[in-house]
């Protein structure tokens, strides 16, 4: 026992020392946990305070003016009347700067003034930054303390820029470099759009007849030409009326406008639409898929993907052209008695709808296509091309010619030079080419899909699973979001 006592004491001392170290470690762990818990409570309190402060800022009256730092990227106020959609979370304007401009535009449209308009972010391409600048300037101009007649046009200009479209027919395009504007304008302009060989042939010599025999004498001469063209068609055993006969019909309508004063000023929008429909019907080629639809019909390519949108059917248009069900163009009408501002707003609507059609055609696979839309006010009309240019859309005039229907003998003489009818005929001819190309691509894709489905049925196997990615398409405001690489 005496020899084992030192060993026993040494082992006992080691065990006591081990117990003491374990106790110290547990004490240290407990203290660390308490500190972590306290720090978490502090962070939670800070987050709660920030959230409460943010909620208080959202509850402020949205129409009230307030000072803001022009260099700040904080969220701007939400409109009090805009309740969030069910099961949808609102995106933060700090994350999507274009959404901030859209919300500001809605506030201005609702009549609010003195709102905060978010500043430009730093993650946009050069062209998108310029469009953002245009939209920001337009909203600022409409954000004055007093409402003016120009406010509605400024808001529409902002919506066009937020739709990733540069309106080349607006003075706002001066934000872009002159070389860019000149090049984009050249891409939209069709140098031969005001000339058509068939029109020049059929209209040859008619001005001399008008000067010699007057309006009624010209009408009689045109009827005689119709008989000649009809006999030629019968000799070819063709039942369909020729284009030459239809062009003579248009001259007959023009003569009646002058001699009988079919539409005395002021005439309404319905009269304007009826008159121009008669012109377009004469120009439509027979035996193709090109048709017209009017009566405030819906443009189906503007239907929202989101089923919770209030406007489920898309945007209404006065006249749309279709090729075998594929929408290829729209024409908007206003009476001549409408204020000038209404025509300006109509034009900005048309180019945004033209972009919708361009996107729907691109989704079918149409490459390098452009869309031509028309704007008509009373007896005058103009046509605009919407196309892609670099990383944005541009909208510019196709020709300098303003298509005018005659209301006097002098205007009839000008009409007989064929320029106005040539523009209309080239417009219809282009729609036929664009539509037939789109239909061919659509039917080819359908055949290829059916062939693949048939092959799978023969082999009796299921197609490979794939993830369907929902694409974003805002049919009311198309925004050029972040720079796309």
Peptide bond into 105 cis (omega under 30): no
Distance CA 165, CA 410 (A): 39
CB 383 within 8 A of CB 374: yes
Torsion on CA atoms 139, 144, 149, 153, rounded to nearest 10:
-10
Q: What is this structure's pTM?
A: 0.72
Distance CA 371, CA 358 (A): 6
Positive/negative CA dihedral, 58, 63, 65, 70: positive
Domain chopping of the chain, boundaries: 97-162, 197-305+312-444
Find the largest Cα–Cα distance for the chain. 152
pLDDT in tens, the chain (485 residues): 334 444 445 545 665 666 666 656 655 555 554 544 444 444 344 434 444 444 444 333 333 333 333 333 333 333 333 333 333 334 343 456 688 888 889 989 888 888 888 888 878 899 999 999 999 999 999 988 877 888 899 999 999 999 999 999 998 899 999 999 999 999 999 999 999 999 999 999 999 999 999 999 999 999 999 999 888 887 766 667 888 999 999 999 999 999 877 655 557 788 888 889 999 999 998 778 899 998 778 888 887 654 444 445 678 899 999 999 999 999 999 888 877 788 899 999 999 999 999 999 999 999 878 999 999 998 999 999 999 999 999 999 999 999 999 989 999 999 999 999 999 999 999 999 999 999 999 999 888 888 888 888 887 766 555 455 444 344 334 444 444 43
Least Cα distance to 443 among 368, 380, 366 occurs for 366
């Amino acid at each position: 026992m005496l020899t084992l006592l030192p060993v026993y004491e040494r082992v006992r001392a080691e065990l006591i020392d081990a117990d003491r170290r374990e106790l110290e470690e547990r004490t240290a762990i407990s203290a660390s946990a308490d500190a972590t818990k306290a720090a978490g409570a502090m962070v939670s309190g800070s987050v709660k305070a920030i959230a409460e402060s943010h909620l208080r800022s959202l509850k402020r009256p949205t129409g009230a003016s307030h000072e803001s730092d022009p260099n700040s990227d904080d969220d701007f106020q939400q409109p009090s009347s805009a309740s969030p959609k069910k099961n949808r979370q609102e995106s933060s304007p700090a994350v999507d700067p274009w959404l901030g401009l859209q919300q500001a535009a809605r506030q201005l449209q609702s009549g609010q003034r003195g709102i905060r308009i978010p500043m430009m972010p730093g993650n946009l391409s050069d062209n998108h930054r310029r469009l953002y600048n245009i939209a920001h300037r337009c909203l600022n101009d409409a954000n004055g303390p007093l409402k003016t007649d120009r406010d509605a046009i400024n808001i529409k200009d902002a919506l066009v820029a937020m739709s990733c479209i540069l309106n080349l027919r607006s003075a706002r395009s001066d934000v872009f470099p002159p070389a860019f504007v000149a090049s984009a304008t050249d891409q939209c302009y069709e140098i031969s759009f005001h000339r058509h060989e068939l029109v020049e042939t059929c209209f040859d010599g008619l001005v001399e007849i008008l000067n010699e025999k007057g309006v009624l004498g010209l009408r009689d001469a045109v009827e005689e030409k119709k008989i000649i063209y009809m006999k030629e068609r019968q000799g070819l055993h063709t039942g369909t009326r020729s284009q030459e006969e239809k062009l003579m019909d248009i001259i007959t309508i023009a003569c009646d406008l002058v001699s009988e004063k079919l539409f005395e000023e002021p005439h309404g929008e319905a009269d304007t639409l009826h008159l121009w429909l008669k012109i377009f019907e004469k120009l439509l080629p027979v035996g193709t898929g090109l048709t017209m639809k009017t009566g405030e019909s819906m443009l189906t390519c503007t239907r929202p993907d989101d089923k919770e949108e209030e406007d489920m059917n898309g945007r209404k248009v006065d006249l749309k052209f279709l090729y075998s069900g594929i929408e290829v163009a729209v024409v908007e009408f206003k009476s001549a008695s409408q204020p000038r501002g209404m025509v300006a707003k109509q034009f900005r609507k048309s180019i945004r709808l033209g972009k919708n059609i361009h996107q729907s055609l691109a989704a079918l696979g149409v490459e390098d296509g452009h869309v031509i839309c028309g704007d008509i006010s009373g007896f005058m009309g103009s046509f605009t091309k919407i196309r892609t240019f670099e990383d944005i859309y541009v909208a510019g005039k196709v020709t300098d010619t303003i298509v005018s229907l005659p209301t006097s003998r002098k205007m009839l003489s000008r009409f007989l030079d064929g320029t106005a009818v040539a523009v209309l005929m080239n417009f219809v001819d282009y729609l036929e080419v664009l539509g037939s190309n789109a239909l061919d691509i659509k039917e080819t894709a359908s055949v290829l899909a059916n062939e693949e489905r048939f092959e799978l049925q023969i082999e009796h196997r299921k197609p490979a699973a794939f993830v369907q990615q929902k694409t974003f398409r805002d049919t009311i405001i198309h925004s050029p979001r972040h720079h796309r690489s």
